[in-house]
Structure 1
Amino acid sequence: MYQKDPPQPAKVALPTMYDLPSEYPEDSGLPDEFHILQSQLLRETFSTPNYPADKVLVATDLNLYYDTHNPLWYKRPDWFAVVGVSRLYEQRDLRLSYVIWQESVAPFVVVELLSPGTEKEDLGKTLREVSQPPTKWEVYERILRIPYYIVFDRYTDKLQAFQLVADIYHPIDLSTPQIWMPSLQVGLGLWQGTYQGIERLWLRWYDTDGNWIPTAVELLAQENQRAEKLAAKLKELGIDPNQL
Structure 2
Amino acid sequence: MTSAFTDPVKFEPPPDHTQLPESDGTFVKNFQEHPQSILLTASIWSTLERLHPEAQFCIGQDSGIYWRITEPPERGAEAPDWFYVPNVPPTLNGEVRRSYVLWQEHIAPLIVLEFVSGNGSEERDKTPWKGKFWIYEQVIRPAFYGIYEVKQASVEVYHFIENHYELLPANERGHYALPQMGVELGIWQGQYRNLDLPWLRWWDDQGNLLLTGEERTEQEHLRAEQEHLRAEQEHLRAEQESQRAEHLAAQLRALGIEPEV
Shorter-chain TM band: 0.7 to 0.9
Whole-angstrom CA distance in 1 between matches of 2:221 and 2:91: 33
The 1:84/1:233 distance shift into structure 2, 3 A limit, reads same
Match of 1:50 in 2: 51
Q: 1: distance between equivalents of 2:204 and 2:36? A: 18
Q: CA deviation at 1:168?
A: 0.5
Counterpart CA distance in 2 for 1:182 and 1:156 is 26
Aligned pairs for 1:188-199 within 5 A: 188-199=185-196
1:169 and 2:165 matched: yes
**Counterpart residue number, 2:118:** 116
Cα contact 2:29–2:117 (8 A) shared by 1 = no
Deviations along 1:29-60, whole A, 9 cap, x unmatched?
23311111211111111233422372221111
Q: Secondary structure at the match of 2:95?
A: coil
**Residue 240 (structure 1) aligns with:** none
Please name the residue that 2:81 is paired with. 78
Residues 66 and 100, structure 2, Cα contact 8 Å, conserved in 1: yes
TM-score (norm 1): 0.81
Secondary structure at 2:217 match in 1: helix
Larger Rg: 2
Q: CA deviation at 1:4?
A: 8.3
The structure where helix makes up a greater share of residues is 2
How many corresponding residue pairs?
226
DSSP 3-state at the match of 2:51:
coil
Query: Aligned-residue CA RMSD in angstroms?
Result: 2.7
Question: Does 2:211 align with 1:209?
Answer: no
Q: Which residue of 1 aligns with 2:18?
A: 18
Normalising by structure 2, what TM-score?
0.76
Aligned twin of 1:95: 97
Greater Cα offset, 204-213 or 4-13: 4-13
CA 1:53–1:114 in structure 2 vs 1: closer, same or farther (change >3 Å)? farther
Looking at both structures, which has the greater relative contact order when contacts are Cα pairs under 8 Å and sequence separation is at least 6?
Answer: 1
Q: Deviations over 1:131-180 (max 9, x none)?
A: xx432212211112110000011112232111001010001113643111
C-alpha separation in 2, matches of 1:14 and 1:100: 11
Unaligned runs of 5+ in 1: 238-244
Report SS of the residue matched to 1:54: coil
Q: Deviation at 1:8?
A: 4.1
How far does residue 62 in structure 1 lie from its aligned partner after superposition? Answer: 0.5
Displacement of 1:69 in angstroms is 7.0
Residues 177-214 of structure 1: CA deviation (Å, up to 9, x unaligned): 31111111122111121111222211111113221111
Q: Alpha carbons of 1:145 and 1:24: their partners in 2 closer, same or farther (altered >3 Å)?
A: closer
Q: Which amino acid aligns with 1:213?
A: L
Cα pair 1:68 1:101 within 8 Å, conserved: no
CA distance in 1 between counterparts of 2:225 and 2:136 reads 48
1:11 positional shift: 2.8
Q: Percentage identity across aligned positions?
A: 27
CA contact (8 A) 2:124 2:131 kept: no
Structure 2 gaps, min length 5: 236-261
Q: Secondary structure at the match of 2:55?
A: helix
